[in-house]
Structure 1
Amino acid sequence: MPKILVIEDEQPVRINIVAMLKAEGFQVILAEDGQIGVQLAQEHIPDLIICDITMPQLDGFGVLEVLQQTPTTSTIPFIFLSAKSERSDFRRGMNLGADDYLTKPFTRTELLEAICTRLTKQSAVMELKQKLEEIQQSNLLKDDFVSTVAHELRSPLMTMKMAIQLLQTTQDTKRHVTYLEVLQAACNHEVELIDNLLDLQRLEARTWQDEAELIDLRTWVPGIVEPIRMRAQQRQQIVQIEICPDLSPVRANQFGLERIITELFTNACKYTPPGGKICLKLFAGNSSSMKAEFGSTTLSQIFTAQRITIESTAFCFMLSNEAEIPANAIPHLFERFYRVPKSDRWQQGGTGLGLSLVKKFVEQMHGSIYVHSANGWAHFIVQLPIKR
C-alpha cells in the first residue's frame, strides 16, 4: 500500500488522521513538527505528504519550500491542512507547489477523496514519465544500432571496392584468382550480415512464426552438422556428437533449431584450436545420463554451477568446445555485434550477430540458454520445451 507521511504538531489531530489512514490500509509515518517531517521525507521518500501549516519553528510553507529544492522530494504529492481559510493562505500554498488544501475540521470522506485523487494523478504522471524515459532510451539504442550497422555494412563493401579496383588494374592470372576469392568472401560476408539483420528484425518485431513439426533428432542433427564437421576437420578440430538413446522424436520449429545449432557450432569452430574438441550432446529432460566429462568437469557439475534444472517436458542440448571464455566477456556474449577481443584463432571474422540470433531464437521458442566456462572449456546449454 502507499506510504503517507503525516506532519502534524497537534496530537489529537495526528492520532485521528493516523486512525483513518491505517483503517484504509495505508502505511503511515508520523512527524510531530516540520523539521522532523523534512528529515523523514528525505529518508523514506513517501508516496504522499499531509502537512499542517501552523507549526512552531518550521511551518508547513517552510517544509514545502525545503522539499521543493530536492529532486527526490519535489514531486511528492503534498496536501496542506489548516484551520485558516483565508484565500491568501490558499494561494500561497498553491504557488509553492502544493497539490491540495483541506480546512480543519475536515471529514473522513474529504481526506480520503483528496488522497485518492492525488495518488491517482501521481501514478499517471509516473507512468507517463517512465514511458518517456523508455522512449528516450529506445531512441538512444536505435541511434547506436544504426551507427554500428552502417559501420559493419561499410567494411565488406570497402573490401569489395578494393578487390574490383585491383581486378581492373592487374593482368596477372593468379592475382585475378586471389582478388576474385577476396571479392567473393566479402560479398558472402555482406549477404550474411544482411540476412542476419533481417532475421534479427523479424525476431524482435515478433513477426517470426514458431511453427512446430515432428523431428527425429537422432537422424536430423547429424545431417545439419555434417557441413560444419567437414570444415572443422580441415582445421584438425575433433567433432563429437552424442544423442541419448532415450531421446524420442520431438515437436519443435525446425528452422529455428537449425539456426541455433548452426550458429553455436560456427562460433565454436572460430575459437577452438587445432586438435581441440567440439562436443554436442542432446538428451531428454528425464534423461539420467549426466556422466559425460569435459576436461575435468562433468555434465552434472556444469548444471549445478549454473543452477539448471531440466524439465521433464523439455529436451536439452549442450555444445562444448575447448576454448575458455574470459569471465568479463560472458555477460556480453549475446549483445549485438559483440566479439570477444583477440580470441578468433582463425581470423574468420563474422557478423557479430550469431549469438544474438541464438538467444532470440531460443526466447521465441520459449526456451532458455546458459553459458558456463571453466577448466579450458566453454559450454552453451539450451533447453527447449517439447511441444505436443
Structure 2
Amino acid sequence: MSPPIAARNIHESIDVITRSLNAVAAPIYVKGQDHRWLFANVACCQLLNSSLEQLVGCLDQDVPALVDAGTLGAQDEGFFQSGETPDPQPITIATASGRHQVTCSRTRLETASGPILINTLQVVGELAQVRQTNYELRQQLEERNGALEKLIEFEATLKRITDRVRDSLDEKQILQTAVQEITEALNVRGSNTSLYDLEQGTSTIYYEFTTLPSDRGRVSQMEAFPEVYHQLLEGQYLQFCSIAPNPVRGLVSMLACSIFDDRGVLGDLWLINDKDHGFSEYEIRLVQQVANQCAIAIRQARLYQESQSQVRELEQVNNLKDDFLSTVSHELRTPVTSMRVALQLLGVTLSQELGMEQELTSPDAQQSRIARYYRILKEECEREISLINDLLDLQRLDVGNHDLALQTIQLDEWLPALVNSFQERATSRQQQLEIVLNDNLSVIRSDLSSLDRIWAELLNNACKYTPPGGQITLSVLPGQEDMAKFDLINTGVEIPQDELPRIFDKFYRVPSADPWKQGGTGLGLALVQKLVQHIGGVINVESGNNQTCFTIELPLSLEK
C-alpha cells in the first residue's frame, strides 16, 4: 500500500533538499521556526569548521564560529515573521583563516510540518553567484512540488471516477459514467467504449461521450485490424495518430486501453483528441486504472444480474409449487371431507350393530380387526384433513387473505385452558407440563383463533419431541415497548445448530428428532411463523444445554 500523500510530500521534499544542497558550492543551512538547525551542506560545515552531526539540533548561539549569533537569529526571526529582512547587516564568522563578513540570502519554504528557512551564506564579493544558485534551487523545488500536485490530482480524479463506476450494478451506467468522466477529466475531444464478442470476433461500440459525430453501434471485425486488436487482446494499450484524414473527424490522435481482468478481456476504452496531442504518461496511467475499475465493476454487475435471474427463476418455481399445492389442496378437500362424513356414519353404524365404540377404548391388542381398521382409517383421514387445512391456511397467509378477528383475551383464563388440554397427553408420556403467568400481565388484544393455532402447534411439538422425564414450561412475561413475551421451553432435546435456520421452512423436518416416531408433514412451524407475523409478532428459537426454547413477542394491543 502506498504511503499517504502528505507523508510522501515531506519525505520527497527533504530528499530533494538534501541532494540539492550538498551539490551546491555555497554554504547553506536549514533551520526550523524554533531556530534549531535541521541541515547544513558540506560547504557550510567546512566554512564553520563543524561536522553536520555537531550542527543539527543546535541553536545559533551553540555554533562556535558564529560571532554575531544574536544578530543572525534576529534577522532569521524577522524573515520567518514577515518574509523579508529590513536593512540586513553582514554577519561576522570566525574561521580557521580568520574573521569574515558574510551576507545572508534567505528563502522560506512551507512543508507539511511547518515553515523552514533556507539560508545561503555568502562571503562578501560572491553574492551574485549565490543568488543564481539559490534561484536554481527554487526552480528545482517548484518543479518537484508541481509533480507532487499532479500526483495528488491524479489520485483524486481516479478516486472520483472509481467511486462512481463501482457504486453501480448496472453495466450500461458503469460504461457511460466511465467515458463521460474520463473525457471531462482529461479534456479530450471524446471517448467511447466497446464490448467484445470473442466467439464472433467482433468489437461493438456501446457507449460514448464526444463532440464528434457518433460511432455508437459500430461493429468492427477484429481480424480486419490485427495490428490493433492483437495488442488489446493481450491486455496492452496503444496510442497512434491517423495517417489519412478521416472524412468526418479529420486527423486525430487516439489512445486505446483494454478492459480486462484475470478472467480475460471484456472490451476496450478509446480516447480521441487533436492530431498534435500526445498522451502523457499521466493520462495513460489514468485511463488504464479506469479501464481496470470498469472490468471489476462489469464482473460484479454481471454476477449480480445472474444471481437476480436465478432468484427470479427460483421464485417462479416456488410460485408454481405453491399454486400446485393450493390447487391440489382445494381439489382434495371435498373428497376427503366426504370420506370423513362417511367414516363418521360408518362409526355410528358399527357402534350400533357391533358395539365398536366400547371396543375402541380397549388396548390395541384386544381390539378386533374391524375396530383397528376403522381407527386407522379415521386417524389417517384426520391427518389428511389437517395437512390440507395447513396448506390452504399457508396459501391464504402468503397472499394476505387471512382476516383478523380482534378481541380482548384474558391470559389467566385462556392459557390454562389451552395447556390443560395437553396435560393428559404429557402425563401419559411421563412429561411435566406447567404454565407460569406474570401478575403484571393479564390481558392482550389480538386474534384468538391465530393464537390458539400457534400454541396448539407448539405445545403439540413440545409433547412430540420431549423424551420421558422431560419438562415443558410455558411462561408469559412483559416484553419491551408494549409487547408480551411468551417462552416455551422443553428439556431433554436439542436442535442441531446447523438445522435451526431451516426449521421454519415448509415441509422441513429435523432428522431423527422424533422419539415417538409419530411423523409429520413439516408444515406446522412454517404455519406458526406465518401466523405470528400475521398478528404483528416475531418468533425466535434457541437450542443448547439440553433444552430448546421458542420465544414469541406479540403486541399487547393489535390494531387492524
Question: Could you say which residue in structure 2 is the equivalent of 1:136?
Answer: 313
| Cα distance, 1:128 vs structure 2 | 11
1:367 aligns with 2:537: yes
Partners of 2:433 and 2:471 within 8 A in 1: yes
1:92 aligns with 2:246: no
- Residues 319-338 of structure 1: pairs in structure 2 closer than 5 A: 319-322=488-491, 323-338=493-508
2:511 maps to a residue whose letter is P
Deviation per residue, 1:98-131 (Å, 9 max, x gap): 9xx99989xxxxxxxxxxxxxxxxxxxxx99998
Q: What CA distance in whole angstroms lies between the structure 2 residues aligned with 1:128 and 1:326?
A: 35
Q: TM-score, normalised by structure 2?
A: 0.43
Q: What CA distance in whole angstroms lies between the structure 1 residues aligned with 2:447 and 2:382?
A: 26
- Residues 302-341 of structure 1: pairs in structure 2 closer than 5 A: 311-322=480-491, 323-341=493-511
| Cα distance, 1:330 vs structure 2 | 0.7
| Cα distance, 1:257 vs structure 2 | 1.1
Distance 1:364 1:82, change over 3 A: same
Partners of 2:179 and 2:191 within 8 A in 1: no
Partners of 1:371 and 1:379 within 8 A in 2: yes
Q: What CA distance in whole angstroms lies between the structure 2 residues aligned with 1:267 and 1:250?
A: 24
Partners of 1:239 and 1:277 within 8 A in 2: yes
Distance 1:141 1:237, change over 3 A: same
Partners of 1:281 and 1:318 within 8 A in 2: yes
Q: What CA distance in whole angstroms lies between the structure 2 residues aligned with 1:103 and 1:325?
A: 65
Question: Could you say which residue in structure 2 is the equivalent of 1:28?
Answer: 161
1:79 aligns with 2:224: no
From 266, 276, 291, the counterpart of 2:470 = 276
Distance 1:133 1:255, change over 3 A: same
Partners of 1:192 and 1:351 within 8 A in 2: no
Partners of 1:316 and 1:383 within 8 A in 2: yes
Instruction: Give the number of the structure whose residues are more often strand, by fraction.
Output: 2
Deviation per residue, 1:219-275 (Å, 9 max, x gap): 110111222122111111110110111112111111111111111101111110111
1:383 aligns with 2:511: no
SS of aligned partner of 1:342 = coil
Q: What CA distance in whole angstroms lies between the structure 2 residues aligned with 1:148 and 1:208?
A: 18
In structure 1, list runs of 5 or more residues that go unmatched: 1-14, 31-36, 106-126, 165-171, 286-310
Distance 1:332 1:235, change over 3 A: same
Q: What CA distance in whole angstroms lies between the structure 1 residues aligned with 2:319 and 2:482?
A: 38
1:47 aligns with 2:174: yes
| Cα distance, 1:132 vs structure 2 | 6.5
| Cα distance, 1:351 vs structure 2 | 2.4
| Cα distance, 1:79 vs structure 2 | 2.8
1:313 maps to a residue whose letter is D
Distance 1:173 1:236, change over 3 A: closer
SS of aligned partner of 1:28 = helix
Distance 1:94 1:69, change over 3 A: closer
Q: What CA distance in whole angstroms lies between the structure 1 residues aligned with 2:413 and 2:515?
A: 31
1:80 maps to a residue whose letter is E
Distance 1:27 1:230, change over 3 A: farther
Deviation per residue, 1:313-361 (Å, 9 max, x gap): 0001010111111112111110011111111111112221110011001
Question: Could you say which residue in structure 2 is the equivalent of 1:5?
Answer: none
- Residues 57-68 of structure 1: pairs in structure 2 closer than 5 A: 64-66=194-196
Distance 1:83 1:203, change over 3 A: closer
Q: What CA distance in whole angstroms lies between the structure 2 residues aligned with 1:314 and 1:91?
A: 61
Q: What CA distance in whole angstroms lies between the structure 2 residues aligned with 1:265 and 1:90?
A: 67
Deviation per residue, 1:173-196 (Å, 9 max, x gap): 711111111111110100100111
Deviation per residue, 1:54-106 (Å, 9 max, x gap): x9xxx967x5235x669xxx99x953245653x7x4552699999xx99989x
| Cα distance, 1:386 vs structure 2 | 1.3
- Residues 200-215 of structure 1: pairs in structure 2 closer than 5 A: 200-215=394-409
1:330 maps to a residue whose letter is L
Distance 1:65 1:269, change over 3 A: same
Question: Could you say which residue in structure 1 is the equivalent of 2:392?
Answer: 198
Partners of 1:314 and 1:386 within 8 A in 2: yes
Q: What CA distance in whole angstroms lies between the structure 1 residues aligned with 2:315 and 2:551?
A: 30
Partners of 1:218 and 1:243 within 8 A in 2: yes
Q: What CA distance in whole angstroms lies between the structure 1 residues aligned with 2:307 and 2:378?
A: 48
Residue identity over aligned pairs, in percent, reads 31
Question: Could you say which residue in structure 1 is the equivalent of 2:31?
Answer: none
Q: What CA distance in whole angstroms lies between the structure 2 residues aligned with 1:197 and 1:130?
A: 29
Partners of 2:406 and 2:446 within 8 A in 1: yes
| Cα distance, 1:145 vs structure 2 | 5.1
Question: Could you say which residue in structure 2 is the equivalent of 1:234?
Answer: 428
Distance 1:211 1:173, change over 3 A: closer
Partners of 1:368 and 1:382 within 8 A in 2: yes
Partners of 1:83 and 1:104 within 8 A in 2: no
Q: TM-score, normalised by structure 1?
A: 0.61
Distance 1:81 1:102, change over 3 A: farther
Question: Larger relative CO (CA 8 A, sep 6+): 1 or 2?
Answer: 1
Q: What CA distance in whole angstroms lies between the structure 1 residues aligned with 2:421 and 2:221?
A: 75
| Cα distance, 1:144 vs structure 2 | 4.6
| Cα distance, 1:214 vs structure 2 | 0.7
Q: How many pairs does the alignment contain?
A: 286
